[in-house]
A = this chain, B = another copy of it.
Amino acid sequence: AWKGAPEFSTDDGWSFKPRGRMQVDVGSVDGPSGLASANQAHLGTSVEFRRIYLAFDGTMPGGFGYRTEINVANSDVAINDMYLTYKAGRHVTLTLGNQKPNWGLEEMTSDLFTSFQERASYSQAFGFERRIGLNAQYAGKTVVAQLGVFVDDPKSMGGDTNKSWSVDGRLVAMPKVAGGTLHLGGSVHVRTLNDSIPSVTYQARPFVHTTDLRFVKAGIGDATQERGFGLEAAYVKGRFHATAESFWQTVRRSGFKDPTFNGGYAEVGYLLTDDVSTYKRGTYDRIKPKNGFDKGGIGAIQINGRYEWLDLTDAGIVGGRQQTAGISAIWIPIDYVRFIVDYGHIWVKDSPVTANGDASYGVDAMGMRAQFDF
């Protein structure tokens, strides 16, 4: 079978498929003129490889499977999905290795299929990443349940002094409602921080990823535990989809008050062409244009609008608050190629990065992405 690249398989359960993706981005950020020149240098227009994944997927007789995926976009190796799976039952899969610890709808959706270049900023801020762990998933027709135990990401675990660990669970119901699919979910994350440096830093870029400047940033020392709680809701029907999520992150500290930070977003999207938005067992999936370039058509075009917020100020910590209103247009000439253009206006408040002494101001950001995968 072909899925971007050939998938080889045998009747007795062996299969093998190469796998990869490239995302190349242009991003432009226009901040207030009063920023320090060292900060201004990070703005303007930049180009970068956002992601370059190279991987092998496979299955083996007896119910085993695997993925070995690395990300080389930063001219180094970041270990991505890297795991052994075992199908313990018709609906139950165990996964051992580096994987996403059951975050929310947008984070669990592949970065190939998000509605904007970047996910909502709380996703960056609260450290949603892949970690090494053992996870169990039940994926039924109308319910997905996920529960796992995790340590830290592979690079952090490369040393031997990081003893942090977490329990992460997620539950999703996805009933059919009025001819569409309703998605309702929540996730809970309890993480014991046990590294040699007992601190966490929460920060987020403004709308695009090309700049390294963050207008919101909170460093929290004497941290002993992270507790995260997320809510997810979505409705998908034909050309239309709507999503809303919110996440609360509490940091337990020794000798200080425990701050709780919050972020979230609400989004609607619509396909201008005669295509359908795709949802599959707890995440959004690949939109396959009915009339793509391969058939002489123009492919699929989707437009999206979103409001999102991130508040990193609480309990005496002033990390700032960022609200973003964004619009995007996505063009999908064939199933495995995608172009995105998007624009966002960011309202920054109480920022640690001041402009002429002012901690509140507006920022504009625009981006474009070209992407293929196989």
A45 to chain B, nearest CB (A): 7
A52 in the interface (beta carbon within 8 A): yes
A140 in the interface (beta carbon within 8 A): no
Which chain B residue lies CB-closest to A334? Answer: B62
Contact (Cβ within 8 A) B75 A52: no
* Docked pose: A268 CA to B25 CA in angstroms: 44
Contact (Cβ within 8 A) A62 B16: no
Contact (Cβ within 8 A) B12 A211: no
Which chain B residue lies CB-closest to A27? Answer: B160
* Docked pose: A334 CA to B60 CA in angstroms: 8
A64-B334, A292-B62 in contact; A158/B97 too (CB < 8 A)? no
* Docked pose: A63 CA to B97 CA in angstroms: 38
- Per-residue interface assignment for chain A, residues 1 to 36, with 1 indicating a CB less than 8 Å from any chain B CB and 0 otherwise: 010111010101110101010101000000000000
Which chain B residue lies CB-closest to A63? Answer: B293
- Per-residue interface assignment for chain A, residues 56 to 68, with 1 indicating a CB less than 8 Å from any chain B CB and 0 otherwise: 1010111110101
* Docked pose: A150 CA to B217 CA in angstroms: 33
A257 in the interface (beta carbon within 8 A): no
* Docked pose: A374 CA to B47 CA in angstroms: 31
A24-B132, A76-B75, A96-B24 in contact; A82/B42 too (CB < 8 A)? no
Contact (Cβ within 8 A) A160 B211: yes
A77 in the interface (beta carbon within 8 A): yes
Contact (Cβ within 8 A) B10 A45: no
A22-B97, A24-B132 in contact; A5/B16 too (CB < 8 A)? yes
- Taking CB atoms, residues of chain B closer than 8 Å to A48 are 154, 157-158, 160
A172 in the interface (beta carbon within 8 A): no
* Docked pose: A6 CA to B60 CA in angstroms: 12
Which chain B residue lies CB-closest to A337? Answer: B64
Which chain B residue lies CB-closest to A96? Answer: B370
User: 18 A-B contacts, Cβ less than 8 Å apart?
Assistant: A5-B16, A5-B58, A20-B56, A24-B132, A46-B163, A47-B132, A49-B154, A52-B79, A56-B374, A60-B334, A63-B293, A64-B336, A72-B79, A75-B78, A75-B158, A77-B77, A84-B370, A160-B210
